[in-house]
Chain A
Amino acid sequence: MAPSPCAVCQTNRALILRPKNHQKLCKPCFISVFEAEIHHTITTNNLFHRGERIAIGASGGKDSTVLASVLKTLNERYDYGVELILLSIDEGIKGYRDDSLETVKRNAKQYDMPLTILGYDELYGWTMDQVVEQVGKKGNCTYCGVFRRQALDRGAAKLGVRHVVTGHNADDVAETVLMNLLRGDLPRLSRTTSIVTSTPSIVPSSPETTSHTNIKRSKPLKYAYEKEIVLYAHHKNLDYFSTECLYSPEAFRGSARALIKNLERVRPSAILDVVRSGEDMAKLVPGGNESCGNGCGGHATIVEEEEGGCGSSNGRTSGGEMASMEKQLTQTEVAAEEGLEVEITTAGTKPPNPPDSDAIPLVSGKKGKKLKGPPHGARKQPAKQTMGQCARCGYLSSQEICKACVLLEGLNKNRPKNSIEVSYDNPEESAPTVNSHEIKCTIVTQISEVEKTKGLIYNS
């Protein structure tokens, strides 16, 4: 059989079968088609504007490495006039980040971009390894995802950057669409399909610093297939670190991921088709982008902030997350059938946290939500979600306290006793009261610092 010529230039021998549409291309044409498509995505969506400083969320993996490389190429070729910098988050997973951060450092040199690395321990007082030690491997992706989302925004704010680009590709978006259908989360389905997520309406709380609540996020690789990203990295000889997160993905994401891979095998366009469906369905979500939070109307939301897991793992499933949701749904069904829910909501229970109260108790899980929510029988439209700021850290949140602070409180509650003893050791710190929410997050850091000092004392 004669070798087929490239479908684009018609002269070179075709060496690449494009995963997206099975077009036969030569290497230079594949590279230029791939870059042209990203350029197309950037220009048609007006992602960038001249003079903008843009932080690339860099993990050292294939997606963010390709993103950095392509953006550098395109910025020079088409003169976008943007300033690109690298921002890395160190989740504190031993053996996972050590090597990938080295890759990012090399990338910084190769692409001549400044690099900032921020650790979870600096931001939250907890490394992921410590979190896993505490909560186990099930559900830790929730922590990682919630922490990371804020981490990039906080890091960007620190650098005075208002736009963060991430390496989310078409496979990731398609996976998220299916995952959110599986776990019944329409609001998030609609949010995660948009190429830009930003919250320009939120005014910075303190004038002297850039607030991390108005950072723009975009995904220039939203329509790029994972397989093509790998091919591009391969043919451009890009230096990336290929490893998967050591902790297994949640069942829903793993399940969705496996489905996406199978769909791609049966029909290559399916990934793009799911993305398209996701975009179209986002327009059909009642109440626009916002809806009620977890537990209402019988469909459950597992995590509050976007993009729960990290999506960088394969289809291993633990099933724990599915089982717990199954249990929750079954209970809701039983309750609904027996009319229990209505009784609870009409019982005239006082909201657990009246607005005048200083103390902001945690409303975790669906029980608290139920109490506040309107009676189930009467609800037609999902309750409108109002975006506000977390009372503790100021991060954008639909709840009074953002998910990260909720998770942190859970973690810190179970911290070994000695962290409580800290306040005894330092009476001049006037015992961090539960009421001083604004400094809660920084206290965590302080405590861990004091712990370090204590450790030194003990060692000496």
Chain B
Amino acid sequence: MPGKHVPQDAAAAGQLCRRCRTSEASLVVRTEPLCRDCFIRYVSTKAVKRMESFRVRHSTPDQTRKLLLPMSFGVSSVTLLHILDYQLKNQTAKTGRTGFQLLVVHIDTSAVEKNAPDPSFMSKLQARFKDHSYATVPLKDVFETPSSYSNDQNIEVDPTPTSDQLSTFLATLPSATALADVLSTLRTRLLVAYARQHGCEAILWGDSTTRLAEKTLSETAKGRGFALPWSIADGQTPAGIPSNYPLRDLLKKELTSHANFVNPPLTEVVYAPEPTGPVSTSSKTTTIDDLMKAYFESVEENYPSIVANVVRTATKLDAAKFEEGDERCSLCGMPVPDGKFGIHGWGGDQHDVQGVSPGEQTEALCYGCTRSVPKGTTLPS
């Protein structure tokens, strides 16, 4: 596009695009110099390839398949919406109908989180990507929605408004890591409940390769290794709604470049909080997620294939076997093998030496959730 300002990667300067061999390359993607158009095609092909099972030919005209797209207004989820919007337009142009419908859902955490994006981003998206359903759900609804996989069936009616309950509960959490962990657990839980309520067939997460690698290590560090396959792999989850990660083959930096390259740039509708500077390891506000994010941002810079390899490797783990009747964590809803709740009763726990009996745990929480929610804390029901 002559005369138009296109962000230029210094490494690509003066080279010809390896794919079309006509335009000048705008950036280098995994050793391959590409021009703007070929790069955009590269990104969307990688994502659309992952949407194979949702093609038009797999749907019937009288029954449209509904898919839920969680929207954080970050570059990844906005990019996913952009690509799928384009794919749906193509499907309509070619066949007169679409293979699926999108339900874009934002979980509003602004009541409990300082840096939460303004829900008004939703209207900007809606204006740009029409033809989809949009919804904003406040996080407190997580305790109003009858959770389909919660253990406690005898929910008492509490006169306190749930938003107060939620903030009180979150305020008791011992650390920034615990808060971030619980918030993301609650967000996922609410999205799943919403998807079920609205008859969605699957959830399309916007996680990039880089994000999945971060998740792999941070879930491991939070003692959630047992549930790792359910948070990074495509397919069925214990929550009963399959997960899909269409952007799993794209790096975070590629998504960022892509957002600048498309016309008009996606950056207009992306929520980008002020960068908080280098991650400090001593700060009380630093979380395990922050550490892993900073780590993989640096690895991605020089070793993109290693990032991809972490994800590919972790995705090879088999998901644990579970049955409908298995006991589950009352916070994250993951099956807990043999009902071994809490942090006791394994080789690394010596509490019985100190006279604390494993039965003291008041809530039936899994290992990872127990680390974040201290003993004696009552979950809002």
Residues of A participating in the B interface, judged by any CB pair closer than 8 Å: 8, 33, 36-37, 40-41, 44-45, 170, 177-178, 181-186, 195, 222-223, 259, 262-263, 265-267, 269-270, 272-281, 283-286, 297-300, 319, 322-323, 325-326, 329-330, 333, 382
Chain A minimum-CB-distance residue to B304:
A326
Task: Give the number of residue pairs across the A-B interface with Cβ within 8 Å.
Answer: 155
Chain A minimum-CB-distance residue to B286:
A266
Q: Inside 8 A of A183's CB, which chain B residues have their CB?
A: 306, 309
A269 pairs with B371, CB closer than 8 A: yes
B229 pairs with A36, CB closer than 8 A: no
A41, A170, A283: most-surrounded residue (chain B CB, <10 A): A283
Please list 12 pairs of residues, one from A and one from B, whose beta carbons are closer than 8 Å in the complex, sorted by A's number: A40-B350, A44-B347, A184-B309, A262-B291, A263-B221, A265-B281, A270-B222, A273-B367, A277-B224, A284-B228, A284-B320, A323-B302
B347 pairs with A184, CB closer than 8 A: no
Asked if B183 lies at the interface with its beta carbon under 8 angstroms from chain A, I say: no
B177 pairs with A333, CB closer than 8 A: no
Given contacts A275-B348, A284-B226, 6 further A-B contacts (CB under 8 A): A183-B309, A186-B313, A186-B317, A273-B223, A280-B225, A326-B302
Q: Inside 8 A of B353's CB, which chain A residues have their CB?
A: 33, 36-37, 40
Chain B minimum-CB-distance residue to A259:
B295
Chain B min CB distance to A39 (Å): 8
Asked if B160 lies at the interface with its beta carbon under 8 angstroms from chain A, I say: no
Q: Inside 8 A of A186's CB, which chain B residues have their CB?
A: 313, 316-317
Residues of B participating in the A interface, judged by any CB pair closer than 8 Å: 30-31, 175, 177, 216-217, 219-226, 228-229, 281-282, 286-288, 291, 295, 302-306, 308-310, 312-314, 316-320, 346-348, 350, 352-354, 367-368, 371
Q: Inside 8 A of B281's CB, which chain A residues have their CB?
A: 262, 265-266
A184 pairs with B310, CB closer than 8 A: yes
User: A33 to B347, alpha carbons, bound, how many Å?
Assistant: 16
Q: Decide yes or no: A281 and B220 within 8 Å by CB, A259-B291, A267-B288, A273-B371 being known contacts.
A: yes
A8, A36, A266, A275: most-surrounded residue (chain B CB, <10 A): A266
Chain B min CB distance to A109 (Å): 32
A326 pairs with B303, CB closer than 8 A: yes
B291 pairs with A330, CB closer than 8 A: no
User: A322 to B295, alpha carbons, bound, how many Å?
Assistant: 14
User: A382 to B346, alpha carbons, bound, how many Å?
Assistant: 29
Q: Inside 8 A of A44's CB, which chain B residues have their CB?
A: 347
A277 pairs with B226, CB closer than 8 A: yes
Q: Is the interface of B mostly helix, strand, loop or mixed?
A: helix
Q: Inside 8 A of A182's CB, which chain B residues have their CB?
A: 306, 310
B308 pairs with A329, CB closer than 8 A: yes
Q: Inside 8 A of A33's CB, which chain B residues have their CB?
A: 353-354
Chain B min CB distance to A331 (Å): 9
Chain A min CB distance to B347 (Å): 6
Chain B minimum-CB-distance residue to A39:
B353
Chain A minimum-CB-distance residue to B353:
A36
Q: Inside 8 A of B177's CB, which chain A residues have their CB?
A: 266-267
The 8 Å CB contact of A195, one of B303, B304, B305, B347, is B347
B347 pairs with A41, CB closer than 8 A: yes
User: A44 to B346, alpha carbons, bound, how many Å?
Assistant: 9
The 8 Å CB contact of B225, one of A259, A281, A298, is A281
B224, B281, B286: most-surrounded residue (chain A CB, <10 A): B281
B288 pairs with A37, CB closer than 8 A: no
The 8 Å CB contact of B30, one of A223, A262, A333, is A333
Q: Inside 8 A of B346's CB, which chain A residues have their CB?
A: 276, 279
Q: Inside 8 A of B225's CB, which chain A residues have their CB?
A: 276-281
Chain A minimum-CB-distance residue to B306:
A326
Q: Inside 8 A of A37's CB, which chain B residues have their CB?
A: 350, 353
Q: Inside 8 A of B316's CB, which chain A residues have their CB?
A: 186, 286, 297, 299, 382
Chain B min CB distance to A21 (Å): 10
Chain A minimum-CB-distance residue to B282:
A265
Chain B min CB distance to A363 (Å): 22
A41, A273, A329, A382: most-surrounded residue (chain B CB, <10 A): A273
Chain B min CB distance to A255 (Å): 8
A326 pairs with B347, CB closer than 8 A: no
Chain B min CB distance to A315 (Å): 12
